[in-house]
Amino acid sequence: MTTFTHERYCSEVLAQTELLRAALRGADLSATVPTCPDWTLAQLVLHVGRAHRFAEMLVRTRATEFEVPAGGNTVEFGAGDPSPDDEEGLGAWLTAGAEALAETLREAGPDVPVWTFAVDQLSGFWARRMTHETLVHRADAAGAAGVGFTVDPALAADCLEEWLGMSTHPAVLEYKPELKNLLGPGRTLRLQATDIATEWFVDLTGDRFAWHRGHEEAAVTLRGSMTDVLTVVYRRQPVDGARVEVLGDRAVLDLWLETTSFG
């Protein structure tokens, strides 16, 4: 289930990239990113730019099997990469990758068969995934640079639903069997945004994770603006440091946040 059109996602890849680039202006590119402590701000940008280029390559070549991305899984600068201390060059390189990705996605449309790491093996997956990949790492960059971070509530809600969809897919329990420790009686969560008329119910009481939109009583409720709910769920800010309310069994929320992570 997606909220936006393919074209909207393509446009958001560009918009979120430019907002990320704006967060870099005047920032110390060698500073550690608090929410990605193994990376500097320059390495964060390198990761996002490589992700854009990897997705663009998959869609452009119509790849139907996994291919190792350029640079592998490292965030080390190498030959052909921009200089990690050149703000303008790094920003221009980031924009160029996003523009190439958006152009390739627009040319392909949302329904071209292509490899993804999800059930949905279509090009449209990458338009949505790269939108939210960029959005969440923009939050990382904003935190490192000490600038504000807000998201359009509808876009933040879609980002949250993508996260819920991926984190509750049955295959996740096979890949990370330790997540089964989350399952248990009475373990339900409600995520409630105060600036958009949508709520989500997360059910951990069965033999697998499940979620749906709608109002249901839960063991614990996390309530706040859509931006704050999203960044808490993504662990981009701590519960106690966010402008959110926690109503009910805080232990259920803490266990969920500590055990699940993505991006």
Q: Give tens-digit pLDDT for 76-114.
A: 888 889 999 999 999 999 999 999 999 999 999 999 999
CA-based nearest residue to 229, from 204, 237, 219: 237
Same-domain check for residues 136 and 162 = no
In a domain? residue 1: no
Q: Are residues 112 and 241 in the same domain?
A: no
7-16, 30-39, 64-73: the lowest-pLDDT one:
64-73
Q: Which of 95, 116, 149 is the last residue of a domain?
A: 149
Same domain for 178 and 193, yes or no, is: yes
The predicted pLDDT at position 262 comes to 59
In a domain, 187, yes or no: yes
Which range is least confidently modeled, 16-30, 59-73, 210-224? 59-73
| Same domain, yes or no: 176 and 127 | no
- Name which of 114, 139, 161, 120 is nearest 3 in CA terms: 161
114 and 171 housed in the same domain = no
CA distance 206 to 47: 36
What whole-number distance in Å separates Cα of residue 40 and Cα of residue 33? 6
Pick the last residue of a domain from 149, 164, 194.
149
Task: Tell whether 134 and 222 lie within a shared domain.
Answer: no
Structure tokens, 180: 């089964």
Q: Of 149, 165, 191, which residue constitutes the final position of a domain?
A: 149
Does residue 1 register a pLDDT over 60? no
Residue type for position 139: A
How many angstroms separate the CA atoms of 237 and 35, rounded? 8
Q: Tell me, yes or no, whether 101 and 173 share the same domain.
A: no
* Domain-located, residue 31: yes
Percent of the chain with pLDDT over 70: 97
Number of domains in the chain: 2
Residue 27 and residue 93 in one domain? yes
Specify the DSSP class assigned to residue 210: E
pLDDT in tens, 204-234: 999 888 999 999 999 999 999 999 999 999 9
- Amino acid at the residue 257: L
Q: Do residues 37 and 61 both lie within one domain?
A: yes
Q: How many CB atoms lie within 10 A of CB 37?
A: 7
> Is 80 exceeded by the pLDDT of residue 263?
no
SS (H, E, C) 220-236: EEEEECHHHHHHHHCCC
Q: Which tens digits make up the pLDDT trace of 140-163?
A: 999 999 999 999 999 999 999 999
pLDDT at 241 over 70: yes
Residues 140 and 185 in one domain: no
Q: What is the domain-level CATH number for residue 188?
A: 3.30.1050.10
Task: Examine the pLDDT at 177 and tell me if it is beyond 90.
Answer: no
Residue 24 has what pLDDT? 94
Q: What is the DSSP letter of 10?
A: H
Average pLDDT over residues 11-29: 97
The β-bridge partners of 188 are 203
Q: Above 90 in pLDDT, residue 174?
A: no
Residue 230's pLDDT is: 97
**Chain mean pLDDT for the chain:** 92
Helices marked H in the chain — which ranges?
A: 6-24, 41-61, 87-108, 123-145, 153-167, 170-175, 226-233, 250-259
Tokens found for residue 54: 């990897």
Q: What is the pLDDT of residue 116?
A: 93
| Token duo for residue 38 | 């193994």
- Res 176 pLDDT > 80: no
Note whether 143 and 181 are same-domain residues. no
2 pLDDT band, cuts 50/70/90, is low
CATH code, domain with 44: 1.20.120
Instruction: For residue 183, give its domain range.
Output: 154-259
What's the confidence (pLDDT) of residue 169?
A: 73
CA 200 to chain CA centroid, nearest Å: 18
What pLDDT is attached to residue 166?
A: 84
CB burial readout 185-200, b (16+ within 10 A) else e: eebbbbbbbeeeebbb
Residues 169 and 213 placed together within one structural domain of the fold: yes
